[in-house]
Structure 1
């Protein structure tokens, strides 16, 4: 395709949360539902796309043949099967965008026709509310214009950045999985308030707003998190006592370890997918 084409036709193979989040984001831009199509083997997840007036199908090849940009949004171990199915229908006009955790550009390019334009993208769930964090890396045949096209397509989804492929698995651990880490922390905050006597519904509402407000302040200021944290603390006050308890519980090390573990798992999934691809 001409990467400057406006608007491109978008196809999704896979109808999970990531596909839905990206679809909602791009529909907030200049893409009309008539230019989007989604495939999945069952009806289970297709209903919510139909509510967005997006055409759905059970045929992956139908999606490829009627799209310019094809988003591969299936589980990593399914990617080789899907690419094997659609490969003969992929042409030089297509841009193949994979959001499968761990599946490398090399694996994708090996399973597609020579010269295919491939981009590896890692979004996260807050794309659904247009507050996602997305990082992409371009394959061998993907140009800067293709990257610019993808940025334009996704910018309503949230923060969109480009980087080397080595960062994608790290981004998976930091932001893809990190969303769940934040939810766990918010839950723990609320349960702490419940322990101290606050009603559960109120505690969870306040915890949600606390995380939202802290995130917005961090995003909008140019300050390092440590500086913002220090601004909340007063000598001998409540916050420094609470922070001391968190340090005693190993929160910082546990969070760093969680990102590391999730990153390593993403890399492991990539190795498994590559091995599966080599067997094709």
Structure 2
């Protein structure tokens, strides 16, 4: 009679397994909330702004930091709850499903963030920069709102051919470099500020291409002509890497080789993130890793300057 193979014990899950599963579920819910409510992205905006202050060896003012953080929260969350976006023929990812399920909470967070940012704007006397900050807010708001009619269809700024990555690069560089420069009375067109702006622009532009790759199918369905749609994903990666390389050589004067090596770390991580970007990657690849490269940029500057 042949020997029977040992059977794996079966039965209800153990208490430790249930506790572990519960903690993982809680961790997943909180991670989704932080990432998909744009809190992680707002932290990245704050981190890059702080990095610019660190270049001039100045601590970022707490109230300005809060204004940048809440303004970013408002702009990205108000964008995510726009009604017309949810009528588009798109493939729903886990991120999109989460946003649909939490539209009320995202709207409440957006309005609360607007209230805080607006209050700080008036209390701290930024009114003289209303025109400058207003044009950045206008670009951000009109980025996803239908503003121009093309061939019988209303289009947002992001829908204009090949434009959206440059809009993202410009607005992020302006907020995270020009706002600190204005606060410190630095000339926006001065050589140092211009170099920092260009370096930040090319860095953000390179990362923006990654999100074009993520949105490849959605942009195809909605008729948005992006770099991956017109030139292909592989060509887009090469363009993104070229942008990253262009920004990486723009080092301010006086940076030593050891510091250059530290500052190269986020550039290398960004390059790897770009190269391995695929539309099929999980949502965390884009929301956590790609946005996290911006926070890594701050960490590198913090280590170099302190």
Richer in helix (by share)? 2
State TM-score, norm by structure 1: 0.26
More strand by share: 1
* Structure with larger Rg: 2
Q: State TM-score, norm by structure 2.
A: 0.25
